Amino acid sequence: MSDPGSAGYNITKDPTLAKSRIFLGNLPICTREELVSICQPYGKVLGSMVQKNYGFVQFETEELANKAAFALHKSTFKQNVLTVRNASIKSKAANANAKRNPNQGAQVTVQGGIVMSAASAAAGQPVINDCEIIVKNRENTKYAEYIEERLKNSSLRVDVLFPNEDVLLGKVLANISSRGCLYAVLVTPQHEEHNSITVNILYGVPAEHRNMPLEDAITLIATDFRLKKQRDAVILPPAPSIHKGQRRHPEQMQELLERLADNHPLTASQYEVILKYLEGEREEQLKREVGEANALAKLKAPDPEIELQKKILSIMNKPPVTEITNELLYPTFEAVKEDKRLMELLADDRVMAALESVYNSDLRHTLAELL
């Protein structure tokens, strides 16, 4: 039924509102409330429906629906990778139409104001912003749009996001980061008042820069983005291909290296074995690259990193200062307590005074704690 006033009307089934609705496929077992919770950061939700492994969520506008679809497509929800698209687009029909008319088709505006064909949207082509501006209060929209324009001038792909008030900021940041976005900017009324913003760097080791002056923050993002693009542009030589099951190193060494890669604890001697093996590998590589004579000359020059590793291993291999090799009269403090004569002596103030004078320390307090 498409008449809102009629009994049994369901907004998620109204064909006239299909363009402002999204389809979510491969859903795990979930409630309507859980489904709405992952869609709320992208705009006001008017209705939702869950049926087996798919569902629909109704937004206020087509733009909000497209923004949510492109943000949530291929995201993970309860360990399931979702398939999300605008509900007005039928994937099979759109893909068939795209094959027949690759240069034609309706255009849709998606996240960040990017225009794409409906066929590309149906195929799930992802749109990843470099930076998203999170606005806590719509009164700060103009301030956010000014920041957006400044960042776009630095060649960043930017979008402004208005999450619902009941959605936690941490959840919004986690969602943005999971999509591959590099930066998130937080804008609040206090930020606008003080001409500042909070910058979250989401890639690599996440970092938060709170309440930075606006000019400093924009410079930070623009510079970091430029340097990242330069690093990403460096073409690394292709790694030698290794077939599945093929081992590059001797079996025992391969197992040690795999344990190291998986962060399993190793003993000092195991670390030493790995270092010696890698030194030998380095020697063989140098011989291949510069010849045996030049390799020997280079190997004689100390490598600061290897020298530091050797010093650390040397310290690790030394016995600890607390290690006692002599046999103890009392192996445990429980055994001390069982010696009544000794306990009487330790309770004598004269004995304690004598011991304190020898050790020059608060021995009475220490023994009282231990015994």
Give 25-40 pLDDT, tens digit per residue.
999 989 888 899 899 8
pLDDT band, residue 104 (cuts 50/70/90): very low
Domain of 225, in residue numbers: 131-235
Q: Indicate if the pLDDT at residue 350 is higher than 60.
A: yes
Task: Supply the pLDDT for residue 147.
Answer: 95
Classify each residue of 10-26 as buried b or exposed e, where b means 16 or more C-beta atoms within 10 Å of its C-beta. Answer: ebbbbeebbbbbbbbee
Q: How many percent of the chain have pLDDT more than 90? A: 21
Task: Supply the pLDDT for residue 303.
Answer: 59
Cα 74 to Cα 26: distance, rounded to the nearest angstrom: 10
Task: Supply the pLDDT for residue 15.
Answer: 82
pLDDT band, residue 107 (cuts 50/70/90): very low
- Indicate the number of domains in the chain: 4
**Cβ-based neighbour number of residue 98 at 10 Å:** 18
Domain boundary among 204, 235, 266: 235
pLDDT mean across residues, the chain: 74
Residues whose CB falls within 8 Å of the CB of residue 259, separated by 6 or more in sequence, listed in order: 266
Task: Supply the pLDDT for residue 117.
Answer: 46
Task: Supply the pLDDT for residue 309.
Answer: 57
Q: Is residue 319, in this structure, part of any structural domain at all?
A: no
Q: Is residue 317, in this structure, part of any structural domain at all?
A: no
For residues 35 and 27, the answer to whether their CB atoms sit within 8 Å is: yes
Mean pLDDT of 267-276: 73
Task: Supply the pLDDT for residue 248.
Answer: 64
- Give the pTM: 0.41
Q: Is residue 72, in this structure, part of any structural domain at all?
A: yes
Full 3-state SS string of 192-218? HHCCEEEEEECCCCCEEEEEEEHHHHH
Task: Supply the pLDDT for residue 171.
Answer: 82
Same domain, 172 and 196: yes
Q: Indicate if the pLDDT at residue 182 is higher than 50.
A: yes
For residues 340 and 215, which has the higher predicted lDDT (pLDDT)?
Answer: 215
Same domain, 295 and 256: yes
Q: Indicate if the pLDDT at residue 108 is higher than 70.
A: no
Q: Which of 151-165, 166-180, 257-271 has the lowest mean pLDDT?
A: 257-271
Cα 355 to Cα 350: distance, rounded to the nearest angstrom: 9
CATH of the domain at 172: 3.40.50.800
Task: Supply the pLDDT for residue 359.
Answer: 54
Task: Supply the pLDDT for residue 268.
Answer: 66
Q: Is residue 65, in this structure, part of any structural domain at all?
A: yes
Task: Supply the pLDDT for residue 81.
Answer: 86
- CA 283 from centre of chain: 37
For residues 222 and 178, which has the higher predicted lDDT (pLDDT)?
Answer: 222
Cα 33 to Cα 111: distance, rounded to the nearest angstrom: 24
For residues 41 and 164, which has the higher predicted lDDT (pLDDT)?
Answer: 41
CATH of the domain at 58: 3.30.70.330
Q: Which of 158-162, 169-173, 330-334, 339-343 has the lowest mean pLDDT?
A: 330-334
